[in-house]
Chains A and B, each alone.
Chain A
Amino acid sequence: MSEPAAIAAGTSMRPPAEVMRLERLGAFFPTRLSFLRTLIRRLHRERAVVRRPIWRIDGNGYGMAVYSLELGGYLYSLVAFSLPLDAENRSDRVIAEAWDTSYVLFDGQPSEADLDRLAATVPRQEGARFTARELVLSRANRSVRLFEHVADALARGTQPERGSIASTGYLMRTTAVYGNGKFGIADRSRIADRPAMGGPFQAEMLTVWLIRGFTLDLVEHVARARGGERAVGLDPVYRRYLGIGNSTGLGMAPFLVNHPVLLNNWIAARETALARACAVEQATDPEISRFLAALEQARAHVVEWKTDDRRQMTRIEGLREDLEALAGWLDAGWLARRRPWESLMSAAAAFSVETEELLVSLILEPYGHVVDDLADRMASPGEPRLDPTVTVGAMRRDLDAAFDWVRAIDFDDPTEQDRFWYVSEEKSEPRLGRRFQEPGCEKELPLDIARRVQAFDRDLSSADAAESLARFLMRHPEHRFAAARVYIARRFPYAEIRENLIGERIVPVDMLRCKLSFFGAGRFDPKSDRWIRIVLFQGAPGLDEIAAADPDGWAFPTLGSVPCAGMA
C-alpha cells in the first residue's frame, strides 16, 4: 500500500470500512481495469490475428474447431467441441454431466494426437484428467431460444428479431471456466511470467473471448447448412453486440474469501485509480467530454438493464432515478471546477450505493493514461505466512486495527450464525445451508471469518502480551487460521470483506457480483440470492476486428450504440 504517496496531496483512498461492506461490493460495476478490458487492450495493441486452422463442424453444428493466435510471443489455441445434448441434461450447475459445447485453451498448436486426446477428455470436463499443455478448461450451454431463433432467421435470409437479441444478449453461456491446475491442467505458474498473462484471469478471459467468437461462427454455420444459398450472415452490429453469457453460483464466494491478498490487490487498484482521478486538479475538455459520453451511454444501458430479481430491479430503478437527477445539473460547466471528480464523488454520497459505484467506473473512463498501469498490480503470488516472531500484544494491536468490527457481532444470537457454507459430495458443488435446520455444519467451510477472529480475540485477551505468537499458537493451534487472517488484513487493508458471512442476512450474490465486476461482467441478473447470470464481452471487438477497433469505446453497451463493423 505504497500508492497513496503517489497520489496528489489531499486526496486519499476510501477506507476499507466503507469499501469492504457487501452492500457496496455487491454494487460494483466493471471498470477499465477489469480483466477483460485489459485483455482487449492487449490484443488490440499487439494487432492480434486469430486464425481458424480447423473447422470440422457438421450441418447440425456438431464437431470440433480450433482457433489460434499469437499473444505476447506465445501461441495459444482454443479447441472447441460441440456435441448433441438432450434437453433434460442441459443444466448450468456444477452437477451437470454434459454440455452443448466444451473447450480447452491449449498451450501452442495441438497435433492430431493432441486433438484425439482432447476429444476424449474435454467433453467430460471434471470427469477427465488433463495435462499441463491445457491452460484453461471450460464449457457452455446454448441459450436455446436465441440460438435457434438466430439460426432459423439467418437460414431464411433474414436478420433475427432485434428485441430477442437485446433481451438475451448472448448465444451461449459458460457454466465454468477452470484455470490454475484444476483437474491436472497447467498451474498458473506456467504462464504467469509470460507477456499478456501476468494479470489475473487473463488466460481465462482469452478463452472466453475466443468462445464468444466460436458461438457466432457456429450459429452462422448452422444457418448456412439449413438455408443454403438463401442464408445470410449475422448483421455486424449484432455480432458486435452479442457477448458470452455466464451462469455463476456459490463457488465464487469461497474464492474471494480464500484469496485475501488477491482481493486486496483488486480493490486497492480500483480505489487507487479513483483516488488518482479525484486528485486531478482540472479536467481537460476532452476528459470531460469522454466522461459525459460515458455517462450518457451508461444511462441508456441502465434503461435496457432488466431482471426478474426484485431486489436488484429495485436497485436498478433507483439508479435510473439518480442518473435522471444527475442529468439535471451535471454538465461540462459543473465539471470545469477545481477537482471535479472529487467534488462529484462527494455529491454522489447523496445517491444510492449503486449510483456511487457506477460513477466510480465512469470517472475512470477518460483516465487510461493515469490508471491503466494499475492493472499490472492486480495479481498476487499468494498469501504470506504469518510472522511467528511477533508477540501476542502486537497481534492484539493488529486485530484492533483491522478486525475491531467483529466485536460488534453477537454470535450468541442464533441469527448471526444461521448459515453455513459447505461443499456437497454431489460433484463437489458449493452450497449454503441453514445451521439449525440442515445436517452437515460440522463440515462447514471456514468462511466464518468474523466468528473465528472473535474467538481468537477472546483467547488473545487472556494471554500474556509479551508471549510470542509462536508459543501462543502451540497452545492454540485452532487459532492459526484466524491469526493469519489478522496478519494479512493488517498489511493488506482491503483483504477482508467486513461482514458476518454466516449471518441470516447475508446475500451471497453480492460477493459473486463483486468478483464478476472485476472480470468485466455486465447486466447482472440474479436468479436467486446465490445464483446469477451475467454477460461478458458484450459490445467488445470480435475476433476479426480486434486490430482495428477502438479497444476501450464499448463500455456499457446498448444495441443502438455498438460501433458498426467495429471500426475505430
Chain B
Amino acid sequence: MRVWREGAVHVSLNEVRTLVAKAAVGSGLPVGTAAEIGHAAAWLVAVGEDGIGASVAGLSAKKTSSGSGMAFHGPGTVDLLLSTASGTALAVESADAPVLLVGLIGQALARDGREAEVTVSAEDGASVQVRGDGVSASPDILGSAPQCPCLILTLHSGQAGTPPAAADGVLVDAADWRRLSDLAARTLVPADTSSRDRGAGAGDIDNE
C-alpha cells in the first residue's frame, strides 16, 4: 500500500508523460532524452510502479552528478543494451536512479514491440525481469541513491507486450507532482505586455 506524504493527485498517463518530459527539459536535459524520460515515467505508472517518484529521483540525481546520472545517460544505455546480442551482459556503474532505468528499459521494449525481456541484477543478488508489459518485482529492491548500485543488464528473447491502459487514470504523490511541475515551469517564458499583445496574434476581448 503506497503512502502519500502530502496526499495524492489524480492524473492521466498522458499528463505523466508530458509533465515529466517538460520537467526533464526544465532540469536541463536534451529534448530527445527528456521525451524518453517521460515515456519511462508513464510506463512505470502504468505497470503500477512509482514513476513520478522515480522521475523526481532521477532528475534530482542528475542535478547532483553533473549530468552523469541515469536521467542523462539512461536512454543511451538502453540503446546500447538493445544493440547487443541476446545473453550479453552490460554493466552500469553507480546507477543513481535504478527504478527510472527500469522504466526506460520497459518503455523501449513496449514501444518497439520487441520480443525480448531484460534482467536487471544488483550486486547484492536482487534482480527483476523487465518486459514490455510489466516487471517481475518492484524495482525498488535494486536500491537507490545515494548507494548508487552497480547493475548488470542482460537482454534475453521473450514476448512482446505493452503495459495496461490505466483507463481510470492514476494517483500520484502530490508533493512529487508539485516538484515536477516546478521543474516544468522553468520551460515557460515570463509574460510581459509585448508578448501578451503580439505573441498570440490575437486581441484580448471578443465581444463582436
- Point out the residue from B30, B112, B167 that lies within 8 Å of A132, measured CB to CB: B167
* Segment at the B interface, from A221-229, A329-337, A435-443: A435-443
Which of A188, A468, A477 is packed against the most chain B CB atoms within 10 Å? A477
Which of B76, B190, B208 is packed against the most chain A CB atoms within 10 Å? B76
User: Assuming the A-B contacts A250-B201, A473-B79, A474-B73, are A440 and B15 also in contact, with contact meaning beta carbons closer than 8 angstroms in the complex?
Assistant: no
- Point out the residue from B11, B72, B82, B188 that lies within 8 Å of A424, measured CB to CB: B188
- Chain A residues with Cβ under 8 A from B204's Cβ? 91, 93, 95
- Chain A residues with Cβ under 8 A from B111's Cβ? 382, 384-385
Does B207 reach chain A (CB closer than 8 Å)? yes
Contact A446 B31, beta carbon cutoff 8 Å? yes
- Chain B residues with Cβ under 8 A from A413's Cβ? none
- Chain B residues with Cβ under 8 A from A88's Cβ? 205
- Point out the residue from A428, A469, A480 that lies within 8 Å of B188, measured CB to CB: A428
- Chain A residues with Cβ under 8 A from B87's Cβ? none
- Chain B residues with Cβ under 8 A from A528's Cβ? 201-202
- Could you tell me the distance in whole angstroms from the C-beta of A303 to the nearest C-beta in chain B? 23
Contact A423 B32, beta carbon cutoff 8 Å? no
User: Assuming the A-B contacts A92-B206, A187-B166, A423-B188, are A385 and B108 also in contact, with contact meaning beta carbons closer than 8 angstroms in the complex?
Assistant: yes
* Complex Cα gap A183–B169 (Å): 11
User: Assuming the A-B contacts A424-B199, A531-B201, are A468 and B167 also in contact, with contact meaning beta carbons closer than 8 angstroms in the complex?
Assistant: no
Q: Chain B, 189-208, contact with A by CB distance < 8 Å: what is the 0/1 string?
A: 11100111001111011111
Does A470 reach chain B (CB closer than 8 Å)? yes
Contact A131 B80, beta carbon cutoff 8 Å? no
| Contact size range, A | 35 or more
* Complex Cα gap A425–B190 (Å): 5
Q: Chain A, 320-350, contact with B by CB distance < 8 Å: what is the 0/1 string?
A: 0000000000000000000000000000000
- Chain A residues with Cβ under 8 A from B94's Cβ? none
- Chain A residues with Cβ under 8 A from B91's Cβ? none
Does A478 reach chain B (CB closer than 8 Å)? yes
* Complex Cα gap A166–B32 (Å): 48
- Could you tell me the distance in whole angstroms from the C-beta of B7 to the nearest C-beta in chain A? 12
Closest chain A residue, CB of each to CB of B206: A92
- Point out the residue from B14, B30, B206 that lies within 8 Å of A247, measured CB to CB: B206
Does B157 reach chain A (CB closer than 8 Å)? no
Closest chain A residue, CB of each to CB of B162: A381
User: Assuming the A-B contacts A186-B169, A187-B166, are A432 and B199 also in contact, with contact meaning beta carbons closer than 8 angstroms in the complex?
Assistant: yes
Closest chain B residue, CB of each to CB of A483: B32
| Count of chain B residues with a beta carbon within 8 Å of a chain A beta carbon | 50
Q: How many A-B residue pairs lie within 8 Å, measured between CB atoms?
A: 186
- Could you tell me the distance in whole angstroms from the C-beta of B181 to the nearest C-beta in chain A? 11
- Chain A residues with Cβ under 8 A from B15's Cβ? 181-184
Q: Chain A, 473-489, contact with B by CB distance < 8 Å: what is the 0/1 string?
A: 11001111111100000
Does B66 reach chain A (CB closer than 8 Å)? no
User: Assuming the A-B contacts A132-B167, A184-B10, are A440 and B190 also in contact, with contact meaning beta carbons closer than 8 angstroms in the complex?
Assistant: yes
Contact B83 A443, beta carbon cutoff 8 Å? no
Does B141 reach chain A (CB closer than 8 Å)? no
* Complex Cα gap A498–B46 (Å): 36
Does B75 reach chain A (CB closer than 8 Å)? yes
User: Assuming the A-B contacts A190-B167, A471-B80, A477-B30, are A93 and B202 also in contact, with contact meaning beta carbons closer than 8 angstroms in the complex?
Assistant: yes
* Complex Cα gap A529–B200 (Å): 9
- Could you tell me the distance in whole angstroms from the C-beta of B185 to the nearest C-beta in chain A? 7
- Chain B residues with Cβ under 8 A from A92's Cβ? 202, 206
- Chain A residues with Cβ under 8 A from B75's Cβ? 473, 477, 480
Contact A187 B9, beta carbon cutoff 8 Å? no
Q: Chain B, 112-128, contact with A by CB distance < 8 Å: what is the 0/1 string?
A: 10000000000000000
Contact B32 A91, beta carbon cutoff 8 Å? no
* Complex Cα gap A426–B196 (Å): 8
Contact A144 B200, beta carbon cutoff 8 Å? no
Q: Chain B, 31-65, contact with A by CB distance < 8 Å: what is the 0/1 string?
A: 11101100000000000000000000000000000
- Chain A residues with Cβ under 8 A from B30's Cβ? 477-478, 480-481
Q: Chain A, 61-101, contact with B by CB distance < 8 Å: what is the 0/1 string?
A: 00000000000000000000000000110111111000000
Give 18 CB contacts A-B under 8 Å.
Answer: A88-B205, A93-B204, A186-B169, A187-B12, A189-B165, A385-B108, A389-B82, A389-B83, A424-B189, A429-B199, A432-B201, A439-B190, A443-B186, A477-B30, A477-B72, A479-B32, A484-B32, A527-B202
Known: A424-B189, A429-B200, A531-B200. 17 other contacts (CB 8 A): A88-B205, A91-B205, A93-B202, A180-B12, A182-B12, A187-B14, A188-B14, A189-B165, A382-B111, A388-B83, A422-B199, A431-B195, A440-B189, A473-B75, A480-B30, A482-B32, A528-B202
Give me the interface of B with A, judged by CB distance under 8 Å: 9-15, 30-33, 35-36, 72-73, 75-76, 78-80, 82-83, 107-108, 111-112, 165-169, 185-191, 194-196, 199-202, 204-208
Chain A to chain B: the 3 pairs with minimum beta-carbon distance, closest first? A480-B32, A431-B199, A181-B12
Give me the interface of A with B, judged by CB distance under 8 Å: 87-88, 90-95, 129, 131-132, 141, 143-145, 180-190, 247, 249-250, 382, 384-385, 387-389, 422-426, 428-433, 438-440, 443, 446, 468-471, 473-474, 477-484, 508, 527-531
